[in-house]
């Protein structure tokens, strides 16, 4: 499709993708809804005029930026369908988006992704502290946290106190490459901005993309909102992923856990792709193909 060539999702490239989208499809609005720890502006793309809002988020974890490319590829294909009136999977996207509204955040953890992709710049203001949190290593390719060493997907008010005990049992008492939940829920500017956006918009459902394992989660500690399991089973049918339930550290403090508890509405976490993080760029197109029908069908599902 025109305008989209996948590449490692650096901040400048993210903005360039979104500028191209907005220029070619006026129906797609770009909002800068918050800033990262290092001051980067976090963008969200909104398309559709319906009252029912659906949120798709990628890039909580730094080295998992590849799913943001899948979301961007979807937006480029969606914009093309809007311009040409082309039906996809028999769906009239124009009509669907008159009834529903999609908000897409391709990369929440912009600072962390920069570390995972390009490593630590010599002039980074937190260089010494980050190397210390990284066990003395300058290899940040497996880094998951933000620039303060906080794992954003454990920074929500969902079993936060319980998770702090698990942290201590695992010897985590401060900033780290992964698993550190922060000083308090929403302590990080990235999660704080996202929660403020969610509270202000009132989304009907949330989808959070991660890697890897090709699994679909729809519950938090055994609880799921009404209808969530049926929708999760539909996602499984559309993607070929398997239904699963989070366990261990994955069961606490995530966006989906918080959204379910806070609003009693459906939230789904999709673990995309297979292999070992960070997944290679070559997997992006395959990940998108597995998700494509789900992305376009999603407005009919909630």
Give me the catalytic one of 80, 188, 190, 271: 271
Q: In what order do the strands lie in the sheet with 41-47?
A: 29-35, 41-47, 100-105, 52-58, 205-211, 267-272, 215-217, 242-244
Give me the catalytic one of 17, 156, 252, 288: 252
**Rounded-to-integer distance, Cα 108 and Cα 295, Å:** 19
Give Dmax over CA atoms of the chain in angstroms.
Answer: 56
**Rounded-to-integer distance, Cα 102 and Cα 49, Å:** 9
- Whether residue 89 lies in the annotated active site: no
Handedness of CA 140, 214, 229, 71 (dihedral sign): positive
Nearest to 64 by CA among 120, 138, 116: 116
**Rounded-to-integer distance, Cα 239 and Cα 5, Å:** 23
- Whether residue 271 lies in the annotated active site: yes
**Rounded-to-integer distance, Cα 93 and Cα 219, Å:** 29
Q: Token pair of 167, please?
A: 């942290």
**Rounded-to-integer distance, Cα 143 and Cα 123, Å:** 18
Contact assessment for residue 107 and residue 65, using Cβ atoms and an 8 Å cutoff: yes
Residues known to be catalytic: 252, 271
């Amino acid at each position: 499709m025109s305008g989209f060539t996948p590449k490692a999702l650096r901040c400048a490239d993210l903005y360039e993708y979104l500028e191209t989208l907005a220029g070619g499809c006026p129906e797609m609005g770009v909002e800068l809804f918050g800033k990262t720890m290092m001051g980067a502006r976090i963008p969200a793309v909104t398309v559709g005029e319906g009252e029912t809002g659906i949120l798709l988020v990628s890039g909580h974890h730094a080295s998992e930026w590849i799913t943001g490319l899948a979301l961007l590829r979807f937006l480029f294909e969606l914009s093309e369908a809007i311009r040409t009136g082309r039906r996809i999977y028999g769906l009239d996207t124009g009509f669907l988006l008159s009834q529903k509204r999609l908000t897409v955040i391709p990369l929440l953890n912009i600072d962390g992704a920069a570390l995972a992709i390009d490593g630590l710049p010599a002039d980074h203001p937190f260089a010494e502290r980050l190397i210390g949190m990284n066990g003395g290593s300058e290899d940040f390719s497996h880094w998951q946290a933000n620039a303060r060493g906080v794992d954003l997907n454990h920074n929500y008010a969902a079993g936060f106190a319980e998770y702090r005990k698990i942290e201590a049992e695992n010897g985590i008492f401060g900033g780290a490459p992964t698993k550190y939940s922060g000083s308090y829920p929403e302590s990080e500017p990235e999660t704080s901005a996202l929660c403020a956006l969610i509270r202000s918009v009132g989304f009907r459902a949330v989808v959070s993309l991660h890697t890897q394992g090709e699994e679909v989660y729809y519950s938090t500690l055994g609880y799921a909102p009404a209808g969530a399991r049926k929708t999760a089973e539909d996602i499984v049918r559309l993607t070929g992923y398997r239904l699963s339930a989070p366990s261990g550290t994955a069961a606490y403090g995530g966006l989906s856990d918080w959204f379910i508890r806070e609003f009693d509405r459906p939230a789904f976490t999709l673990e995309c792709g297979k292999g070992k993080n960070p997944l290679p760029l070559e997997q992006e197109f395959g990940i998108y193909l597995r998700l494509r029908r789900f992305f376009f069908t999603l407005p009919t599902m909630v």
